[in-house]
Structure 1
Amino acid sequence: MMKGIIRNREGFLNQIAKQLGRPRISASITRPSWAHQPQLEALKNTTADELLEKLQDQCKKIHTDIYMTDVCNLPAILDKAVTDYGGGPIVTWKDERFRNWGLSTLFTQQWPQKGIDVFEWDYTKQEKNIGNAEKANIGMTISEITLAESGTVVMFSEKNKGRTVSFLPTSSIVLIPKSTLVPRMTQAAIKMREIYLKTGKVASCINFITGPSNSADIELNLVVGVHGPVKVSYIVIVDQ
């Protein structure tokens, strides 16, 4: 992937400083040491099992179905979720984890034999990917970080993980490795920072998605599925 080139940065920043009526600040800024950090204390000592229970409870509030399974039973659970949502077409990311979890046969044989079309995101096909997502009944993605407190999944977009897979299809199925569970937004931000320091890169787009789309803008009447999937299922994979 080509890296962007920054041009005329110094002149641009100098112009801003001039408009502010002060010289450029070029020295590094010392991070403040806060006397109180309540965001780090909430759910601080919560275990992975307790986080899972909190996620289950939250899913009831955000109109989201949730399943628990191990890797061995994942194909059967996923097949059931797809059947409950009316079958295909299905659009998925191109992600090695699907194969590692034993889903290749389901994607390439079992579902096609049932007449369920499965489209895998292919960045070389450009706009055709979006067309497949638009006509798909189900979009299938994987959560990189999962906020138990709010029931929020975090999607990292890249060339093989188009963001439209999560919001253009009628329904969404998100696979959630149990190891991705964190208490809340604070820990998610810390984890993203750790990922950046380890890999030296950040996703081109990061989406925080909490169940199906909702809106109560008109007379405070809740409407589900206004600008995204009408139905959402989380499938938690016990991997620890």
Structure 2
Amino acid sequence: MIGTIENRDAFLSKIAQQLGRAPKTELAQPIWQYQPQERVLKNATKDELVEVLVEQCKNVHTDIVLTDTANLTKELQKVVDNYGGHTVVTWKDERFERYGLTSFMTEHWSQMGIQLYEWNPAQHEENIRQAEKANIGITISEITLAESGTAVLFSSKNKGRSVSFLPEKSIILIPKSTIVPRMTQAARFIREKIRDGEQIASCINFITGPSNSADIEMILIVGVHGPIKATYIVIEDQ
């Protein structure tokens, strides 16, 4: 049921009258003298942001690999082998084809005995079952925050959030073009898409390395409620 607002103007006018002023019909966004959120890494180049990301990954227990599209399959294979291969679940994402990974993952991995499952929006229960049993989940970041080492994932019917939550290990592909200084730019990116009328994911996940918690006596435990290991693969795409 959709609610309606009745007598709003009369109600607000009465409040304004009690406050001794005229009703306000518009609100102007304040201009702050100091905006520290804009200053952090403001003039950093993409290469400098990558350096910040690499250092931050050390703090969030995340391995990071730097590569280009020509060597992506080789570097991805190294990480998959290091994680034990076996079973992999991925999004149904056209970017895998763009990076030359689709045939590699389907044909090469099949020959190696690695089971690959691609998210299927028509098979909800099977998607969850496959993600639960998968050893590795592979996703792609939409926005990447250098300051905190955070990958931002947009869920959709083809990009189930279970792929980054349920497998034991997580591999997130990070296009270099997606790297921004911090949350400030990520929020602006999302806001601009909404302003331009673009459809935005109903679920946006900010993921900073493997799952961890320090809730009990401030002792950090890694791998509590999700992937116990994570690797970011930064792809030179500019």
Q: Does 1:228 align with 2:226?
A: yes
Which residue of structure 2 aligns with residue 10 of structure 1? 5
Structure 2: how far apart are the matches of 1:30 and 1:202?
A: 26
Q: Which residue of 2 aligns with 1:73?
A: 71
Q: Equivalent of 1:103, from 101, 105, 112? A: 101
Within the candidate set 178, 181, 189, 1:180 is matched to 178
1:41 shift after superposition: 1.0
Tell me the C-alpha RMSD between the 2 structures. 1.9
Over residues 170-213 of structure 1, what are the superposed CA-to-partner deviations in whole Å (9 max), with x where a residue is unaligned? 00000000000000011111111223334522111001000011
**Residue of structure 1 in register with 2:19 after alignment:** none
**Take 1:132 and 1:223, find their aligned partners in 2: how far apart are those partners?**
26
CA distance in 2, matches of 1:231, 1:90: 14
Residue by residue over 1:41-84, the C-alpha shift from the partner in whole angstroms, topping out at 9 and shown as x without a partner, is: 11110110000000000111111010011101101111111000
Aligned pair partner of 1:29 in 23, 27, 30: 27
Cα deviation, 1:18-56, whole Å, max 9, x if unaligned, reads 9xx848x89342211112111111111011000000000
Q: Partner of 2:200 in structure 1?
A: 202
1:165 counterpart residue number: 163
CA distance in 2, matches of 1:59, 1:9: 48
Q: Distance in 2 between the 1:28 and 1:109 partners?
A: 59
Residue aligning to 2:20:
none
The AA in structure 2 aligned to 1:85 is Y
Q: Which residue is 2:112 aligned to?
A: 114
In 2: Cα distance, 1:26 partner to 1:128 partner: 54
Q: Structure 1 residues 223 and 8 mapped into 2: Cα distance closer, same or farther (>3 Å)?
A: same
Structure 1: segments with no counterpart, 5+ residues = 1-5
TM-score (norm 2): 0.91
Matched residue, 1:133:
131
The code of the aligned residue for 2:35 comes to Q
Which SS does the other structure have where 1:154 is aligned?
Answer: strand
Which whole-Å CA distance do the structure 2 matches of 1:64 and 1:145 have between them? 17
Q: Any runs of at least 4 consecutive aligned residues in structure 1 with deviations exceeding 4 A, and if so which?
A: none
Aligned mates of 1:141, 1:56 — CA distance in 2: 19
Q: Given the superposition, is the C-alpha separation of residues 231 and 179 from structure 1 closer, same or farther in structure 2, using an over 3 Å criterion?
A: same
Q: Secondary structure, in 3 states, of the residue corresponding to 1:123? A: coil
**2:39 matched to which residue of 1?**
41
> How far did 1:112 drift?
1.2
TM-score, normalization by structure 1: 0.90
The alignment partner of 1:150 has SS state of coil
Rg: which structure is higher? 2
Amino acid of the structure 1 residue aligned with 2:191: R
Which residue type is aligned with residue 77 of structure 1? E
